[in-house]
Amino acid sequence: LPQLSSSRKRETMGITFRSGDYVRFVHAGGRTIKDGEAAVIWNRNGIAKEVIGPERVSLFFSTIRFLTRYKAEPHQYLIVKHRSGEIEHKPGPISMYMNPSRHDDGMKVEDGIKLETKNDCIIVFSSKEAKHQLSIDDGNSTASIETPIKKSAPSAERRIISGPNIYFPSVGETIHKFKWSHHNSTDKSWCFHVLTMHKKYMWNRHLTIQTKKSPLNIRVAISYEIGDSIEGCLSIEDPIPILEAALLNDATMNCINMNESNLMESMLKIEEFFPTLSKTMKSVGLRLLKFQVLDIEQSKECKEKVKGEKQEAQRKDDTSHEIHQQIQMTEQLNNTKLKFLKGLQEIGVDVTQVLCANKGNIEKVADNIAMMTEKEGGRN
């Protein structure tokens, strides 16, 4: 037989760790399960046996399958689903082999929920089976026992978990997910589990409002924080659309009778200028801290209107200028005609007769005189 090289021998013996994708049916032979490996072996009678290495096993008409190892670190937990239907959550650090004879496929490794400060908290809902009292009377005494109510929806128990902590949910527990709309982006939603009390948020908003004189575009920055009322945060699924409506209502109602000059000063009085917004924030567990006006400019419609008025005024100025020039030219022409007629009168011409003969057309009189002058000059 040909001799195998040392590298070929190492590959044949299995240097790498084998996992769940290694399945073999062995008529007669054996396998070495190394330290760090595990396998399940079904004999010819179908009985399963789990072997954790290091161990050498002999096989006779048996199926061997190596097992996939799952590991949870200290900040993680392992979700194990048994074939019996039982589910376990095992906090790390831990490692387990997924045995198909005892477990459903695919253990899951999940991160625990980090609560970094005392202001961080989560809301945990756990299912609680409803029970009722059953009285038993044996003639001498009456005993009361609790029995589950069949065919009824389980009740839920709510707990608030605060930090600093890493929380690993137990089986049957659900961590409440907050799903709020974004203030400053077009994303559909903003999802989070950890609610941080007294955390400050900035809300930038563009508003078009109608003042006493004209509509304005204003850009504002609103600073707020999550207050101490967790009940308020749970009272509504998404508070952002309600806050948007409250802000628009206050801005519309309070700006309509104001001038641009005193608008900014009035907006800084938060409680007076934004009463609806302040009350709405308190009702949903938030606190309004600061309101800033970043920019004020006329609306697009107002700008176009002012531009049109300026263009109309300019057009009227141009028209009046043209009329003034025409009047000046007419006055100059009339002065020239008067000088011409005075000149004719001084040389003894009957001006009235000449005008009647030419129907008052002074230009025609001037042309006739010019032609007569040219003829006389030609004769001479």
Q: What is the pLDDT of residues 9-53, one digit of tens each?
A: 444 446 789 999 999 999 999 999 999 999 999 999 999 999 999
Bridge partners of 51, per DSSP, are 39
Q: pLDDT exceeding 70 applies to what percent of the chain?
A: 68
- For residue 138, pLDDT over 70 is answered with no
DSSP label of 212: S
Mean pLDDT (whole number) for 253-270? 69
Q: Which residue has the higher pLDDT, 197 or 356?
A: 197
Q: Which residue has the higher pLDDT, 293 or 11?
A: 293
Taking the C-alpha atoms of residue 275 and residue 23, their distance in angstroms, rounded to an integer, is 71
Q: Write down the mean pLDDT value for the chain.
A: 78
Choice among 73-82, 236-245, 353-362 with the minimum mean pLDDT: 353-362
Check pLDDT > 80 for residue 110: yes
| Cα-Cα end-to-end distance for the chain | 148
- Which value, to the nearest 10 degrees, does the dihedral of the CA atoms of residues 212, 213, 219, 223 take? -20
Average pLDDT for residues 163-192, to the nearest whole number? 82
Instruction: Pick from 142-156, 182-196, 266-280 the range whose average pLDDT is largest.
Output: 266-280
Instruction: Quote the CA–CA distance of 205 and 181 in Å, as a whole number.
Output: 14
pTM: 0.61
pLDDT of 213-226, one tens digit each?
667 778 888 888 88
